[in-house]
C-alpha cells in the first residue's frame, strides 16, 4: 500500500491548511487517508469498470473531507458550549474528554434538551428536519435549541 503514499500525500497537502485551522496535523490527515486507501483497495470491484487509482483517490478525498467536517463540528461545539479554542489533543485523549463531558451533561440535563442537542450536534441534523419530524414549527425548535444550549453551557461551565 506504500505505493499510494505519494497520492495520499498530495491529497493531504491540498487540505492541510484547512486541517490546521481545525487542529489537525499532517499526520492525522495522512493516517486517515492511508486508512481510506486500504479500505478502497479492499472494497474495489474491477467488474464495475472503475480504475483502482480513481477509486482510491475518490475514497481518500472523501475520508479527509469527512475528518475535516468532524473536526469542524467538534471545534464549533466546544467553542459554542464552553468557549474552547481548538488545541491539538491526541485522539484517544480527546475521546475520553468528550465522553466525560457528554456523560456529565446527559446526567444533568432534561432528556428532551439532550435529544435535541444530540440530534443537532452529533447527528448533524438541521432544525427544519427536526421540526418536520416532531411536528413543531422551525421557530419553536430553534428556540428550544437555544434554551438547550444555554442550559448546557450553564451545566458544563459549573463542572469545568
- Please write the tens of the pLDDT for every residue from 16-66: 887 777 778 888 888 888 888 888 888 877 787 778 888 888 888 888 888
Task: Say if residue 13 is in the same domain as residue 82.
Answer: yes
Output the pTM of the full model: 0.46
Task: Say if residue 84 is in the same domain as residue 121.
Answer: no
Given 48, 73, 88, the domain boundary residue is: 88
Kindly indicate the confidence band of residue 128, based on its pLDDT and cuts at 50, 70 and 90.
confident
Total domains in the fold of the chain: 2
Q: Does the pLDDT of residue 89 top 60, yes or no?
A: no
Given 88, 107, 139, the domain boundary residue is: 88
Q: Which residues contact residue 140 at a Cβ distance below 8 angstroms, ignoring those fewer than 6 apart?
A: 131
Please give the helix or strand (H or E) that residue 92 lies within, else none.
Answer: helix 91-108
Task: Say if residue 80 is in the same domain as residue 113.
Answer: no
Q: Which residues contact residue 136 at a Cβ distance below 8 angstroms, ignoring those fewer than 6 apart?
A: 144
Amino acid at each position: 500500500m506504500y505505493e499510494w503514499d505519494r497520492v495520499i500525500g498530495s491529497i493531504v497537502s491540498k487540505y492541510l491548511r484547512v486541517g490546521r485551522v481545525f487542529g489537525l496535523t499532517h499526520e492525522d490527515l495522512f493516517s486517515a487517508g492511508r486508512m481510506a486507501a486500504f479500505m478502497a483497495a479492499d472494497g474495489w470491484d474491477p467488474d464495475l469498470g472503475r480504475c483502482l487509482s480513481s477509486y482510491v483517490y475518490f475514497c481518500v478525498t472523501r475520508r479527509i473531507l469527512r475528518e475535516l467536517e468532524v473536526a469542524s463540528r467538534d471545534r464549533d461545539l466546544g467553542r459554542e458550549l464552553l468557549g474552547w479554542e481548538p488545541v491539538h489533543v491526541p485522539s484517544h485523549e480527546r475521546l475520553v474528554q468528550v465522553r466525560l463531558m457528554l456523560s456529565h451533561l446527559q446526567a444533568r440535563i432534561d432528556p428532551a434538551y439532550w435529544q435535541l442537542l444530540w440530534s443537532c450536534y452529533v447527528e448533524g441534523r438541521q432544525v427544519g428536519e427536526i421540526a418536520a419530524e416532531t411536528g413543531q414549527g422551525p421557530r419553536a425548535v430553534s428556540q428550544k435549541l437555544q434554551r438547550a444550549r444555554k442550559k448546557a453551557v450553564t451545566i458544563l461551565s459549573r463542572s469545568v
